[in-house]
Structure 1
Amino acid sequence: MKLIIDADACPKAVLQHCLAAGARWGLSVVTVASFNHQIVSDQHITVGNASQEADLKIVNLTEANDLVITQDWGLAALVLAKKACCLSPSGSEYRSEKMDFLLEEREIKAKVRRGGGRTKGPRKRQAEDDARFAAELERLLQQLTAEGNSKV
């Protein structure tokens, strides 16, 4: 099991929580970002700046029971299809049963933007967001570790 972070748009506090959790749990923490980002991590993979390049690298690295951190709904859907878990930086776990709705919402918003309209972006990150993320990260790591041990 490893922790993979889509570091292109990952808040610094989330990255720090992930690195600390990886150290506590003895997990490999892999960060992936385009060369436009300066990420400090022992296992950082830098990809080019082409569209979806970081996402494709993350999908290729992901195996069943890994935990991926991303805010990209499309990437989350691909990760879930590989039987991995996926968590947003806001602390929401992505679930397979909700992905159709999220992807449809993403398409509707993209259509509005292509037509010249504007859609609302995320609200400013608060300390509560960091606390919620940290708690959910720990819960998922406990769950995944317990599931991994029960398979042995």
Structure 2
Amino acid sequence: MIPFRNRVVVDADACPVKAEIAETVRSCGATALLVSSYAHHLVGEPSVDVVTVDSSDQSADLYIANAMKRTDVLVTGDYGLAAIGLARGAAVLTPRGRQITEADIDGLLAQRHLSAKMRRGGARTKGPRAFTDEDRGRFRQKLTFLLGGMQENSNR
């Protein structure tokens, strides 16, 4: 049985869809927890709490890993943190609206490892493509679906 999802936990340092998250949680009757380092100034608002952690390398990830529950939706582009979220039973969504599942995570982690190995060896790898309004729309639709706000039209 799929648990009722009522909170969105966000790896907020580099998250481009914070406004969409705030609007969506309010419309679905859920809440959000944005976790970021002191280097990023975020302000809480109705239904959105902000936690600021120190700026050491993995502080936000450790906070999120300890705060996450089975009924959460985790928003992150970090595949290592995504793996932790999946292990905790959370639904995991990238800022581009891709839901990461148990079936995906091993391949994504292997790809991340290979890319890092190539970069250490001096190779250049491509960065992500430009973020688009279509990405924002896909994200909002998928988050609304995960929070139980509507039926999903496609499984992108």
TM-score (norm 1): 0.89
CA-CA distance at 1:118 after TM superposition: 1.3
Between the aligned partners of 1:112 and 1:142, the Cα distance in structure 2 is: 41
Between the aligned partners of 1:57 and 1:116, the Cα distance in structure 2 is: 33
User: In percent, how many aligned pairs have the same letter?
Assistant: 40
TM-score (norm 2): 0.87
- Give 2:26's aligned residue: 23
Aligned residues: 141
Higher-helix-fraction structure: 1
Listed as ranges, the gaps of 5+ residues in structure 1 are 144-152
Residue range with higher mean Cα deviation, 18-27 or 91-100: 18-27
- Give 1:112's aligned residue: 118
Between the aligned partners of 1:73 and 1:50, the Cα distance in structure 2 is: 19
Between the aligned partners of 2:133 and 2:14, the Cα distance in structure 1 is: 18
Listed as ranges, the gaps of 5+ residues in structure 2 are 1-5, 150-156
Q: Equivalences for 1:1-152 in 2 at 5 Å?
A: 1-11=6-16, 14-42=17-45, 43-142=49-148
SS of match in other structure, 2:40: coil
8 Å CA contact retained: 2:75, 2:93: yes
Moved over 2 A (4+): none
Between the aligned partners of 1:3 and 1:140, the Cα distance in structure 2 is: 10
Per chain length, whose mean CA-contact separation is higher, i.e. which structure has more relative contact order (CA < 8 Å, sep 6+)? 2
Aligned CA RMSD, in angstroms, stands at 1.1
